[in-house]
Structure 1
Amino acid sequence: MLRVDDEIFEANISALAKLIKRVEEKIDKLIVSSNTVMDERLLDNQDLCLFLKVTPRTLQRYRNMGLLPFKTICRRNYYRESDVKEFIEKYFGGKDNLTDKDKWGRKNKRRDDDEESVLV
């Protein structure tokens, strides 16, 4: 059986405790940094869905069509804030450019108007 001197054992445990504390501090810094990489904020799917008021499937369609650049990190998709701003300016940037949601709303509004005129 291997015997370890008490002083050596205590020194190793102390060094291990210091290492664990350093790792915890680094993790805390990463959590506090609010998903930033190279001074640029990263948004995940949930953040972007809430911001754009779209479903996850719509985001997937934007990714598949190549409209919205993304990075996959640990099986999660992240979007750079600058890419999201460019995407918004290009595809949601003005009243001249109608989104699918706007077109759908207009189409259904016309149907609702027709139904109301029939009921009156």
Structure 2
Amino acid sequence: MENVIVIEQKTFEELMARFNRLAGMVDRFCRKAEEKRLSEWLDSTEVCQILQISPRTLQTLRDNGTLAYSQIVRKMFYRAEDVRRIVPLVEERRSLAALKGKTI
């Protein structure tokens, strides 16, 4: 046998209003988290294209600690802000290499 709980209409409406506010907050939080998750991380191919460097040069940037990364299984990911931060450094290295008749 099921129990039936009776509450006043005003109490029910207040409860529903609170629930709707909570649902809206959760929805906004999830959208914000999803946007961050997708927009802040780049894979190796994207980084090579942005910096106009070879995969080997990208590996050197990882190895010498110039560019931080995260590895998931066998794939490397880079924070977009870290990539933006090293653009001037890569340009400087490209200029120095060009003076020596080399490329990076």
TM-score norm. by structure 1 comes to: 0.49
Once the two structures are TM-superposed, the CA of residue 47 in structure 1 deviates from its matched residue by 0.5
The one-letter code sitting in structure 1 at the alignment partner of 2:71 is T
User: Which consecutive segments of 4 or more residues in structure 1 shift more than 3 A?
Assistant: none
Aligned-partner Cα distance in 1 for 2:51–2:90 = 10
List per-residue Cα deviations over 1:60-87 (Å, max 9, x = no partner).
Answer: 0000000000000121000011111222
Once the two structures are TM-superposed, the CA of residue 106 in structure 1 deviates from its matched residue by 1.8
Q: How many residue pairs were aligned?
A: 69
CA RMSD of aligned residues (A): 2.6
Aligned-partner SS, 2:41: strand
Aligned-partner SS, 2:59: helix
Change (3 A) 1:47 1:104: same
| Structure 2 equivalent of residue 46 of structure 1 | 45
Aligned-partner SS, 2:97: helix
Aligned-partner Cα distance in 2 for 1:104–1:87 = 16
Provide the identity percentage: 29
Unaligned 5+ runs, structure 1 = 1-32, 110-120
Higher RCO structure (Cα 8 Å, ≥6 apart): 2
* 1:18-37 pair list within 5 angstroms: 36-37=36-37
